[in-house]
Amino acid sequence: MKKAAAAFNTEESRIRKSIMPGGFKKILGGCNMLKQAGNKVYRRFDKELLCIQPWGKNSFRIQATQRYEFIEDDDISALLPAEEVSVKVFERGTDTVIENGKITCEITRTGKLRFLNQEGKLLLEEYERIRGMEEEGRKEFNSALEIVPRTFEPRQSTDNYRLTVRFEPIEGEKLYGMGQYQQPYLDVKGCTLELAHRNSQASIPFVLSSNGYGFLWNNPAIGSVTFGKNVTQWTAQSTKQMDYWITAGDTPAEIEEAYAEATGKVPMMPEYGMGFWQCKLRYMTQEEILEVAREYHRRKLPVDVIVVDFFHWPHEGDWKFDLDYWPDPEKMVRELKEMGMHLMVSIWPTVDGESENYQEMEELGYLTRSEHGKRLGQLGNAAIIDVTNPDGREYVWSKIRKNYYEKGIHIFWLDEAEPEFTGYEFSHYRYFRGADMEVGNIYPREYARMAYEGMEKEGQKNILNLLRCAWAGSQRYGTLVWTGDIDSSFRSLRNQLAAGLNMGISGIPWWTTDIGGFHGGNIHDPKFHELLVRWFEFGAFCPVMRLHGFREPFKAPLGTTGGGKHNSGAENEVWSYGEEVYKICEKYIHLRERMRPYVRQIMEEAHEKGTPPMRPLFYDFPEDKKAWEIEDEYMFGPDLLVAPVLYEDQRERTLYLPEGLWRNINDGEEYQGGREITVDAPLDQLPVFAKAGKQTEL
């Protein structure tokens, strides 16, 4: 015991000198296990070092490791530095209690943590099943299972561990967030989720609980979480320490705003992000995209952004136009601007072996490595850029700046952001910052950071770029996420509604989908026409309204070299689907334009407070128990309730209206809320209800 105490005292001295002003104070009756340093509480028992510290108002950051010391935060953590706050630390029986505003953390004699709100309500409790739990004044549950809350399993011959952290389930609890998964569930309670990115899957490990707390798993390692009926279990496959953040709030909005303060807020959305975006896979030539833009202009249909998709370059990793098909980019940009359109171009993180930049990037160490054997990319002989390397980010941005930015292109589509390896064999890849298994989930955030910091250095404000993936904190780098290469089906549409709502709760306010889906959709098929219309109506009430897809029948390549080697999808303009579809799309493009002042208002709220523009009903009506049950409606800002049509051949919609007076924007009829109603939903009408006296121009 004397040796252990001496070792801990040495550690105290080291920590005091390196990270904390002032000295340590023993707490818990002089017990050597628990020490206080400033507003931090440390617990050392055997191999584990635990730290509890306030991280913003009403919030704690919890860290634990079996290493000698904690690793530096540097760029891996999702959390921003937090303002210093005062806490109260005292003893209650055999527990040590730390109070920070509306949240309290209790540390039991065995090291288990409980979190309570200001009224003493239990919010969350670690899961523990061990013997010998009789304590003076309290009888704890005894178990022969010998399961502790935090398990560190050493990964042989490394400094890392397989980490498992367990929490008690809460009966009746609902959980929201976690990013986007291709499933129709808004409430993720009962789900097992992979903590890893894939094409159409963005893992953002934040949950908002109906029990009054928000929880961030602040660890970018590949892993999983199970929100089970019997246990909640978080796992990191390879990591050096446990790190999570928890906050308490009286309302979902208060919790969400605290999370935004902790991880960052989006910039103010630029004006060109608020209207209609035109896109397809893929415009093959400069003249083709200009003719599309001219036709929109002739029809007096407002388009904010039009997009040049992938393989407009000679080789992956050249990051420049193939002049055989795009002979004068500056002229193209000028003409589009004259028509009121901004040009966005696709950027891929892949570098083909034939690229003019491959050899230099390989020599400089700017490419993602493999644990064994040859590098594997996405297409052909391609490698993936290593955006965790700051020098690599600067190198790639220098190419983008020269070949796009200086030509007047100031908005980018950062595709393949997971990144999309040939196979998702996470144990096979290694970055500058460490193995994919340990840090892989930061890739999309650092990819966004690459462009954001480059554009910021150029003096650009209100930066927005489109990405296929994100992690916690991506929003502060101007990330607009879309849902990836999804199926063109009503089943897929239902998945996107849940994805969009959970992304907003996960701290990513800017979100969109491929209207109509990506894979499939024959432009001559009446069934696809119905899907496209219903998706288009839904898209008008998403944070960004963007038409995209790989439509059928496909078009043959134009040539055998450079960007000409690749095929294209069929036409994907609003007039491509016949007159009936066109009239409906025209109607909703103009409706979106009339909503621009309102969209601007809700984007200001996202920028200032982290408020998701698109959110579940309970966000605005937390006292309404029914609102917590609704998964197929949502609020678009504070004034509009949207009930998308999500099934084929559906021509009426049953929906729930919270308390208050609501006006159907389609016919002007008013309804008293607090009940379910059924309304007509012909093909050209999306059921949308405005609060009485609000948005009367719609």
How many residues in total does the chain contain?
A: 698
- Nearest to 505, CA basis, from 534, 475, 485, 483: 475
Indicate if 95 belongs to the active site: no
Residue 331 Cα distances to 145, 287, 402, 627, angstroms: 72, 11, 16, 52
Sign of CA dihedral 246, 251, 257, 258: negative
The token pair that represents 169 in the structure block: 């389930």
- Nearest to 577, CA basis, from 555, 551, 556: 551
DSSP string, 660-672: SEEEETTT--EEE
Report how far Cα 515 is from the mean position of its chain's Cα atoms: 19
Interatomic CA distance for residues 467 and 412, integer angstroms: 9
Please list, in sequence order, all residues whose beta carbon lies within 8 angstroms of the beta carbon of residue 89, skipping any fewer than 6 positions away: 27, 36, 41, 96, 97, 98, 99
Interatomic CA distance for residues 152 and 238, integer angstroms: 10
Check residue 674 and report its DSSP letter: S
The token pair that represents 126 in the structure block: 């670690």
Interatomic CA distance for residues 507 and 615, integer angstroms: 11
Residue 63 Cα distances to 51, 83, 118, angstroms: 5, 18, 23
Interatomic CA distance for residues 343 and 91, integer angstroms: 62
DSSP string, 288-340: HHHHHHHHHHHTT---SEEEE-S--SSSTT--S--TTT-S-HHHHHHHHHHTT
The token pair that represents 346 in the structure block: 């696709």
Alpha helices in 19-167 (DSSP H): none
Interatomic CA distance for residues 42 and 50, integer angstroms: 6
Sign of CA dihedral 73, 78, 80, 82: negative
Looking at 256, 415, 438, 632, which residue is catalytic?
A: 415
Cβ-contact 259, 507 below 8 angstroms: yes
Strands 202-209 and 634-636: unpaired
Indicate if 485 belongs to the active site: yes
- Nearest to 617, CA basis, from 592, 637, 595: 637
Residue 246 Cα distances to 63, 66, 175, 214, 342, angstroms: 12, 22, 14, 6, 41
Looking at 257, 416, 418, 620, which residue is catalytic?
A: 418
Cβ-contact 11, 44 below 8 angstroms: yes
Looking at 271, 485, 593, 684, which residue is catalytic?
A: 485
Residue located via tokens 């493999």 = 370
Interatomic CA distance for residues 201 and 54, integer angstroms: 32
Cβ-contact 686, 541 below 8 angstroms: yes
Please give the single-letter amino acid code of residue 434: G
Which 3-state string (H, E, C) describes 568-579? ECCCCCCCCCCH
Interatomic CA distance for residues 332 and 343, integer angstroms: 9
- Nearest to 643, CA basis, from 543, 538, 542: 538
Residue 385 phi, psi dihedral angles, 5° rounding: -65, 150
Check residue 201 and report its DSSP letter: B
Q: Burial level of 29, CB count in 10 A (0-12/13-18/19+)?
A: exposed
The token pair that represents 216 in the structure block: 């961030």
- C-alpha torsion 475→451→511→533, nearest 10: 170
Residues that are catalytic: 415, 418, 485
